[in-house]
Amino acid sequence: DVISDLVNTFVANQTETGLRDFFEAMLSLEGERKEVAVNGLLAFCHEHKEQPLFALLIDLSEQYPGDIGLFVPLMLNVLTLQPGEAMFLSACTPHAYIKGTGLEIMANSDNVLRAGLTPKFMDVPELVANTEFKSMAANELLLAPTMVAGGLDYQIPVPDFKFSVYKQVNNIALQNTSAEILFAIDAPLTVTHHNGETVILEKGQSVFIPAYAQAYSAHCDGMFARAYN
């Protein structure tokens, strides 16, 4: 097995350093070693395709044939979020969105480092230098929302932003002390300012609200999301 030595080394050193070295070595495989490793992985996946993770890897291999990033889901938590569920990832955490529709809120960022599943260049040393190799259980990533007037508030563990989802609200009054973005998820959203200005968003549309607005009201028969601070 072309990667058995890498696996055995990691098994003998299951620490942050061991995970970092294994991650870097796997993504650095090239040529025949990479081809043999990926083919071996896919052969195993086809033998165990009744298991969701291996079925997922087969699907990904059809989109990204021969990609060494097919090994990465084996090193990450694979989660299926249900409607209304959310998760938080700190900076320097590799992640990928496989399928489905979700809303992503990011803090200010000016870079993307690729970790596989892409035809584009991967700078593995730079990726490793900017990745935290702290293991977390899947259930530690989920955010349990708090009930608030009109909806759900997701407790983000960093000060960069806040996120809430409101459902079936009738002209709810909202205060804002920062710039905000509202997104109509599944139904029209009507936003009204005290100066009399009104904007109606159709499903899938968003609106920017400046900090100086101070307050506004929102009416929606469905759900809308709010990103603010």
Question: What six digits make up the tokens of 191?
Answer: 């936003």
Query: Is 110 a residue whose pLDDT tops 70?
Result: no
| Mean pLDDT on 115-125 | 90
Bridge partner residues of 142 (DSSP) = 87
9 lies in the same domain as 100 = yes
Q: 137 with 157, same domain?
A: no
Instruction: For 57-116, give the secondary structure using H, E and C.
Output: HHHHHHHCCCCHHHHHHHCCCCCCCCCCCEECCCCCCCCCCCCCCCCCCCCCCCCCCCCC
The rounded distance, in Å, linking the Cα atoms of 206 and 224 is: 9
* Cα dihedral: 46, 50, 53, 58 (round 10): 30
d(CA 21, CA 25): 6
20 catalytic? Reply is no
Please check the confidence at residue 111 and state whether its pLDDT lies above 80. Answer: no
On whether both 203 and 109 belong to a single domain, the answer is no
| CATH code (residue 73) | 1.10.441.10
**pLDDT over 70 (residue 154):** yes
- Cβ(51)–Cβ(26) under 8 Å? no
What percent helix, strand, coil does the chain show, rounded to 5? Answer: 30, 25, 45
- Please report the pLDDT score of residue 107 as a whole number: 85
Q: Where are the alpha helices (DSSP H) in the chain?
A: 4-11, 16-27, 31-47, 52-63, 124-129
For the chain, how many structural domains are there in total?
A: 2
Range of the domain at 159: 146-228
pLDDT in tens, 198-220: 999 999 999 999 999 999 999 99
The pLDDT tens digits for 68-98 are 999 999 999 999 999 889 999 888 999 988 9
Q: Return the H-helix or E-strand segment holding 54.
A: helix 52-63
pLDDT in tens, 156-185: 989 999 999 999 999 999 999 999 999 999
What is the pLDDT, as a whole number, of residue 191? 98
Residue 109 shares a structural domain with residue 176: no
Task: Give the integer Cα–Cα distance in Å for 172 and 197.
Answer: 16
Distance, CA of 119 to CA of 157 (rounded, Å): 34
Confidence of residue 136 (pLDDT cuts 50, 70, 90): confident
DSSP single-letter state for residue 122: -
Residues 27 and 94 grouped into a single domain: yes
185 Cβ neighbours under 8 A, 6+ residues apart: 165, 203, 222, 223, 224, 225
One domain for residues 109 and 16: yes
Same domain, 127 and 170: no
**Residue 144 or 110, more confident:** 144
The average confidence (pLDDT) of the chain is 93
Q: What is the average per-residue pLDDT within 40-49?
A: 97
Q: Residue 144: its pLDDT value, please?
A: 84
What does the radius of gyration of the chain's CA atoms come to, in whole angstroms? 22
In the numeric block, the tokens 């905000």 are attached to: 180
